[in-house]
Amino acid sequence: MALLDLLKHRKSIRSYLDRVVEREKIMMCLEAARVAPSACNSQPWKFIIVDDRELKNKLCDAAFSGIYSVNSFCKMAPVIVAVVSEKSKFLARIGGMFRGTKYYLIDIGIACEHFVLQAEDLGLGTCWIGWFNEQAVKSILNVPRNKKIDILIALGYYDRENVCLEDDREPMDKIASFNSY
Ligand SMILES: Cc1cc2nc3c(=O)[nH]c(=O)nc-3n(C[C@H](O)[C@H](O)[C@H](O)COP(=O)(O)O)c2cc1C
């Protein structure tokens, strides 16, 4: 698929088929994330793939209860990816402090979107998940207390025929201009 078509076909998927996702496909998504650019080539990420059904269900029950239950649809997804934010390289951290910019979040965003787009190309659906009980996820996945999990990604097969591809984005003239603000 041409890149722009792929980008337009990617939508957040909140309903998944009960079908195992092959490890080879997950590895391709991880490879896409691995080659992502990052400030000072810091690569400040670690991806924890949760594809063991029992563990994934336990994780979802803990991550999406109470105020987070709006995201309990994730339990339908056969795979949950927890993205651990790792320490950036010294230069990126210092530069980020001077600039007041959290480069590591930009880096993680790019790597995750690589993952997500590779998934889409393989016929897999995803949903970025930023609203979840982080402490519960860290505890279940044995993530050290000093680390952060800023984002999860739900991953799985989905019904490609029943996705609304409506363009709900801002018009071009609102988001871009040439040569001046
Ligand atoms: C950083 C980030 C966090 C998000 N968190 C959630 C979330 O917690 N739950 C959810 O259902 N969707 C979440 N989304 C998906 C957005 O709602 C979605 O991308 C947006 O509405 C555009 O729709 P589309 O992805 O279908 O094009 C998140 C997306 C991003 C990029």
Q: Which of 12, 70, 160 to mutate to test the pocket of ligand 1 (most atoms within 8 A of CB)?
A: 12
Predicted confidence (pLDDT) per residue in 67-114, tens digit? 999 999 999 999 999 999 999 999 999 999 999 999 999 999 999 999
pLDDT for residue 155: 98
- Compute, in angstroms, the gap from residue 11 CA to the centroid of ligand 1: 9
What ranges do the domains of the chain cover?
A: 13-158
- Three-class secondary structure of residue 86 per DSSP: coil
Half-sphere exposure of residue 55: CA atoms within 13 angstroms, side-chain side: 15
- DSSP string over 62-78: HHTSGGGGGGGGGGGSS
Superfamily of domain 13-158: NADH Oxidase (3.40.109.10)
Nearest Cα neighbor of 149 from 132, 161, 165, 163 is: 132
- Closest CA to ligand 1's atom 19: 12
CA angle 59, 62, 65 (to 5 degrees): 135
Predicted confidence (pLDDT) per residue in 12-58, tens digit? 999 999 999 999 999 999 999 999 999 999 999 999 999 999 999 99
Q: Is the pLDDT of residue 9 over 90?
A: yes
pLDDT for residue 5: 96
Query: How far does Cα 21 stand from its chain's mean position?
Result: 16
Q: Is the pLDDT of residue 1 over 80?
A: no
- Closest CA to ligand 1's atom 17: 12
Q: Give the Cα separation of 24 and 106 in Å (integer).
A: 27
Predicted confidence (pLDDT) per residue in 135-181, tens digit? 999 999 999 999 999 999 999 999 999 999 999 999 999 999 999 99
- Compute, in angstroms, the gap from residue 88 CA to the centroid of ligand 1: 25
